[in-house]
Amino acid sequence: MGRLKIVYPICCGMDVHRDFVIACIASTNAQGVTQYQSRRFSTYTGGLRECATWLEENNCRDVCMESTGKYWIPVHNILEKTCHVVVTHPKFVKAIKGKKTDKKDAMWIADLFKHDVVSGSFIPPERIRQLRDLCRYLMKLTWNATSEKNRAHNCLTVSNLKLDSVFSNVFGKSASAIIDFMLEHPGEQFDVAPFVHSRCKSPIEDIQAAVDGSFSPWQAEKLKIIQEHMKDIDHCRKLLEDLIFRLAEPYNRQIDLIMTVPGIRDRMTAIRIISEIGVDMNQFESSKHLCSWAGLTPQNNESAGKKKTTRIGKAGQYLKPLLIECSIGAANPRSQKHPEVSAKYRQLQKRRGAKKARVAIARRLLTAIYHMLLKDEPYQPFVAPVQNSIPKQRRMTAEDAIAMLRRKGYILVDAKGTIIEDYHFASPV
């Protein structure tokens, strides 16, 4: 077996911690002999600047580090100004058990990196990183709002107030007005008719029966706190949305392009997609690489020519749910804007089920976005090619044909109608 090629003759491996970072420079000469020098630096800004100066003095421009929590971000922000920094997942640089120290970990990362066998993570430009951070924070605020709504529902349930049975949205104007009145006038009987909007479909009698309950003093106080918290969250979300729109202004062209994709109905969704993948598609080798990075492709788990699983990967915890949500809207049969998407979804659903069909449509949407951003052009509907004639060279063995029929649920019988269990094929002469 030949030796691994030295790709980076002078490189640095870093073991990043909260309060300090261990840097190890690996210098390989023409004879393939590597010498190491290690230093410890503080993670204060002054210490990181000292580290950058030390790397420059040793003519080191290539650095590799683990993505340990959030500790790597300040180190990356300072070193990226003067160095080519590769951030990798800890699983790709995991050291051998029993031989782990901070110094040895840094040396191990340097050894792997000098041969270019470390898989680097996608790190977008600084403005995109800031946009990603804000968008993820907005999503978490949305989750908090949902949690508070669930707590409000629980208050109504334990108080035996069946507003969710007569209103489609218990946080709408009519239901909210009724709840506010009950909180201000505990135990008081009242007529619900003045609070109900004219477009409400539920009969007044049912709504009156639904409010035949009462808040306990403690549940009432709890619900008031929940309401205040929900107002605070809504206010913060509006402020954050304004901040996101201002930060995303340089990408208005790309946002307009993405909004032409089926299932993407608002600018915030397009901005969230850009915050995850960026606008420069040259960062990815191909659309397949992007889909794999987003967790929309089956995992590579194959042995002896057999695939162990066809499940999609766990990557893309922020992007994947968003794209699947978009695929649900794009595949809506009531939407006539993009019938090719809903037709493809129905075809996949019959064959693979609803969940896998949604993932497949999400992958198609992401593939379309990749080519749109790469070519700077709007969405083009994908049309499946129609074969007018059967290909001439179309062969299948008898064994494969029988296996295919079995998979489709066919039971093979002979001329007399007897089920054939075993199949024997004559050997070719």
CA neighbours closer than 13 Å in the CB half-sphere of residue 162: 10
User: Does 127-249 match 10-114 at the fold level?
Assistant: no
Residue with the bigger pLDDT between 14 and 340: it is 14
What per-residue confidence (pLDDT) applies to 199? 85
Residue 208 CA: distances (Å) to CA of 27, 67, 176, 393? 81, 57, 15, 73
Q: Is pLDDT at 182 greater than 80 in this prediction?
A: yes
More confident residue, 115 or 301: 115
- Residue 257: how many other CB atoms lie within 10 Å: 21
- Distance in angstroms (rounded) separating the CA atoms of residues 309 and 206: 51
Where along the chain do its domains lie? 10-114, 127-249, 251-375
**Residue predicted with more confidence, 199 or 63:** 63
In the prediction, which pLDDT does 306 show?
59
Q: How far apart are CA 288 and CA 290, in angstroms?
A: 5
Instruction: State the pairing for strand pair 62-66/10-16.
Output: parallel
Give the number of C-alpha atoms closer than 13 A to the C-alpha of residue 64, restricted to the C-beta side: 29
Percent of the chain with pLDDT over 70: 89
pLDDT (tens digit per residue) in 92-135: 787 766 667 888 889 999 999 998 888 888 888 899 999 999 99
CA atoms within 13 A on the CB side of 188: 12
The pLDDT tens digits of the residues spanning 124-152 come to 889 999 999 999 999 999 999 999 999 99
Angle subtended at Cα 306 by Cα 302 and Cα 310, rounded to the nearest 5 degrees: 65
pLDDT tens profile 319-364? 999 999 999 888 887 767 778 888 888 888 888 888 889 999 999 9
- pLDDT score for 386: 40
Residue 39 confidence (pLDDT): 94
- CB 348 within 8 Å of CB 360: yes
Q: What is the pLDDT of residues 350-409, one digit of tens each?
A: 888 888 899 999 999 999 999 999 999 988 876 544 444 445 566 777 777 777 777 777
Confidence class of residue 1 from pLDDT cuts 50, 70 and 90? very low
Q: Which CATH class is domain 10-114?
A: alpha beta
What tens digit of pLDDT does each residue of 75-89 get? Answer: 999 999 899 999 998
Higher pLDDT, 307 or 257: 257
Q: Is the pLDDT of residue 45 over 90?
A: yes
pLDDT in tens, 210-250: 988 888 899 999 999 999 999 999 999 999 999 999 999 99
Between the CA of residue 157 and those of 161, 203, 214, 277, 289, what are the distances in Å?
Answer: 6, 21, 11, 42, 48
Cα-only R_g, the chain: 30
Which pLDDT value is given to residue 76?
93
Give the global pTM.
0.78
Distance CA 275, CA 269 (A): 10
- The pair phi, psi for residue 223, each rounded to 5°, is -65, -35
CATH class of 127-249: mainly alpha
**pLDDT over 50 at 178, yes or no:** yes
